[in-house]
Amino acid sequence: MKICILSDSHDHIPLMVAGAEQAKAQGAEAILHCGDIVAPSTLNKLQPLGLPVHAIHGNNTGDLYGLSRLSHDSENIIHYYGQDATIRLDGKRFFLVHYPHYAKAMAITGDYDVVCCGHSHNTLIESYENIKGFVTVLVNPGTVGGVGNKPVSYILADLTTMQFTVHTVKQ
C-alpha cells in the first residue's frame, strides 16, 4: 500500500489538491494530513479523489467545530482526530502529530512503525532505533502549501517496502 503524507496546507487549496492528485497518480490509496489545514472547506476539496483522508489540526486550527462536524458525516471519507491520532494502515501503526519535538518523543517509544509530523515546513525522513529495539521512521513532509517560500512538497510512502520519498508538487 502507498500513502500520501502531507502537512501545512494553510488553505492553499490548489497546491494541496495538486499534491494529492500527483500522489494518487503514483498509487497512493490514503492521505495523511499532519495539520495546519485551517478551514474545513480545504479538506472538502480532497473528497473527489475518493481516498480516505486522516487529518489532525496544528497550531493554525481555524474552525475546529466545522472540522469535527465534517468528519462525522456518514457520507464522508475524511477522518479528523483533533490534536493527534493513532491509526493503522496496511498493518503498520502510525502516530500523527503536528509538532516535531512531540513526534520525536513518540518515535522513541516503540509504539509505532511510523510517526508523522509537520509545523517546521522542512522535509525530514529519519529512522530511530526505539526503546523496544526496532526502528521507527519519523517523517515530516514539509509544506504542501508552500508556506514561507519553502518547496511545495509531500511524501509518498510505500508501506510494503517502508520506502519514503519526498516529492515536489508540479504547479
Task: Burial-class residue 10 by CB neighbours within 10 Å (0-12, 13-18, 19+).
Answer: buried
Please check the confidence at residue 42 and state whether its pLDDT lies above 80. Answer: yes
Residue 27 amino acid letter? G
pLDDT of residue 43: 87
pLDDT of residue 32: 98
Contact 94, 87 (CB under 8 A): yes
Contact 19, 143 (CB under 8 A): no
pLDDT in tens, 53-93: 999 988 877 777 777 777 676 677 899 898 999 999 999 99
List the one residue out of 90, 105, 95, 100 whose CA is nearest residue 123: 100
Tell me the C-alpha distance between 87 and 112, whole Å: 10
Distances 27 to 52, 122, 159, 161 between C-alpha atoms, Å: 13, 24, 12, 14
Q: What is the DSSP letter of 148?
A: G
pLDDT (mean) for 100-117: 98
Please check the confidence at residue 119 and state whether its pLDDT lies above 80. Answer: yes
- Grade residue 48 by pLDDT with cuts at 50, 70 and 90: very high
Which range is least confidently modeled, 35-39, 113-117, 123-127? 35-39
Delineate the domains of the chain, giving CATH numbers in brackets. 2-168 (3.60.21.10)
pLDDT of residue 111: 98
Tell me the C-alpha distance between 144 and 152, whole Å: 5
Which residue's C-alpha cell is 483522508? Answer: 53
pLDDT of residue 67: 72
